[in-house]
Structure 1
Amino acid sequence: MRVHFIVHESFEAPGAYEIWARARGHNVTFSRVYAGEPLPAQVSDIDFLIVMGGPQDPATTRETCPHFDSKGEQALIASAIEAGKAVIGICLGSQLIGEALNAPFAHSPEKEIGKFPIFLTDAAAEDVLFSHFGQRLDVGHWHNDMPGLTPDARIIAYSEGCPRQIVAYSDRVFGFQCHMELTPEVVELLIAHSENDLSRAAEFRFVNTPAALRAHDYQAMNQVLYTFLDKLAARCQPLTA
């Protein structure tokens, strides 16, 4: 299986998504746009498109952030969806999926940075991809915004601070506002970048201190993510055979 990552910043690393892809022996490629690497010219060589997060939002312009081409990424995502590829967006990536489907992103009711529970909806119970999540799962968060909803979108999970944590746009396209890919190494990168936000942790209900972020165990949610990805890969197997 050919897995392509769009990575917006060095500190928004693929983490557990990349660990999964390499452990399963998939072919892994990157568009590290922060380093000037181009987006794919076409989607025919991709089976899984995974779009990572970043401090930008879909409205960020090239003038504000020269390495981030929101419209170009939205066009690539739309092409991948039309071609029947598996598409996963994380945080900013989830918002770009919504925008590509004409569903504008929105600001989340709460800033969330840390590890907090998400709660699975009835829609999750109807999808085998999420049958192992349980009704509640503690996962990573690092965001201010959330993805838009198309008329057919299904909210799979929400949190106390954000009503759109996991969104299913189709049986192969998913937006994860939450960060199930976090590992201790990725957390350190994010802490180093987010010094200002974390210094104000006491001002927000759902923002952990650096010490708390370092103390969390991220392995359990990583394992849940791996099982989801295995199930999605099996669902898409006819495309990749």
Structure 2
Amino acid sequence: MRVHWLQHAPEDDLGCIAPWLAARGHMVTRTGLYEGGPLPALSGFDALLVMGGAMNVDEEAVHPWLVAEKAFLRAVLADPGKRVLGICLGAQLIAEQLGGSVGRNRETEVGWFDVQLTEAGRGFDALSEWPSSMPFFHWHGDAFDLPAGATRLAYSAACDQQAYSYDDGRVVCLQFHPEVTSASVRVWLEHPQTHPAPGPFVQAAGAMRQDIAKFAAANRLLVSLLDRWLDLNRVV
């Protein structure tokens, strides 16, 4: 399958998704939006991955490429033959293009916190190997409202909307970061501009990286989702 991905900042990469794509033999292309990279023709890919970034969806004056990206996402979302996965900022951008709103969450959520599946999430085939509750890594201050027609799949104590699907699972979006590795988080912690203010759902920097097993478990669950979601013969 031809998979294209959108990168919003150099420190926000594919994480564990990169070796998964390579192992499955998918053809992978990329647009570095922060580099001024060109967006692909719709005919050039089958699935789109929209990754995270420290910017907000409304910062078009600071990041003018957001205007073109949003128009591109609207076109992709309107194409029933395209699969779309959004993570963190990607999930917010997709929600906005589907008619939802994005704004400050009631809490900044950074570090390892449990995500709970809704009843719909527990019945969603692509999440069939996921437990009802599982710690995942978070790094966000904003959050999305559920777009009309979307199905809420998960939530956390700090954020009511942690995951949703749209169009019978063709579109899947996650507010949290199952793709990150310990190395990913180390890079994020080296960027002072991304450090959040202390809060009840902001974990100490050392605690974010100390349990390597959590990264491995989260990565395995993301891989199980991806294997099912990209299998076009399955009904998700």
Percent of aligned pairs sharing the same letter = 33
1:5 alignment counterpart: 5
Displacement after TM superposition at 1:147 (Å): 2.1
1:77 alignment counterpart: 73
Q: Pick one of 174, 182, 185 that aligns with 2:183.
A: 185
Q: Pick one of 100, 103, 113 that aligns with 1:103.
A: 100
Look up the SS of the partner of 1:12 in the other structure: coil
- The 3 A distance-change label for structure 1 pair 152 and 38 is same
Cα pair 1:4 1:29 within 8 Å, conserved: yes
Segment drifting more, 74-83 vs 110-119: 74-83
Residue 114, structure 1, aligned to residue 116, structure 2: no
Cα pair 1:31 1:39 within 8 Å, conserved: yes
Displacement after TM superposition at 1:146 (Å): 1.3
Q: Give, in whole Å, the separation in 2 of the partners of 1:59 and 1:93.
A: 13
Cα pair 1:115 1:216 within 8 Å, conserved: no
Residue 163, structure 1, aligned to residue 160, structure 2: yes
Residue 207, structure 1, aligned to residue 207, structure 2: no
How many residues end up aligned between the 2 structures?
Answer: 230
Q: Give, in whole Å, the separation in 2 of the partners of 1:54 and 1:177.
A: 12
Gaps of 5+ in 2: none
2:39 alignment counterpart: 39
Q: Give, in whole Å, the separation in 2 of the partners of 1:2 and 1:196.
A: 32
Q: Give, in whole Å, the separation in 1 of the partners of 2:19 and 2:208.
A: 20
Q: CA RMSD in A?
A: 1.6
Displacement after TM superposition at 1:164 (Å): 0.6
TM-score, normalised via structure 2 length: 0.92
- The 3 A distance-change label for structure 1 pair 196 and 49 is closer
Q: Give, in whole Å, the separation in 1 of the partners of 2:6 and 2:37.
A: 9
- The 3 A distance-change label for structure 1 pair 196 and 167 is closer
Look up the SS of the partner of 2:112 in the other structure: strand
Cα pair 1:3 1:47 within 8 Å, conserved: yes
Q: Give, in whole Å, the separation in 1 of the partners of 2:22 and 2:77.
A: 23
Gaps of 5+ in 1: none
Q: Give, in whole Å, the separation in 2 of the partners of 1:76 and 1:20.
A: 25
2:145 alignment counterpart: 148
Segment drifting more, 75-84 vs 5-14: 75-84
Moved over 4 A (4+): none
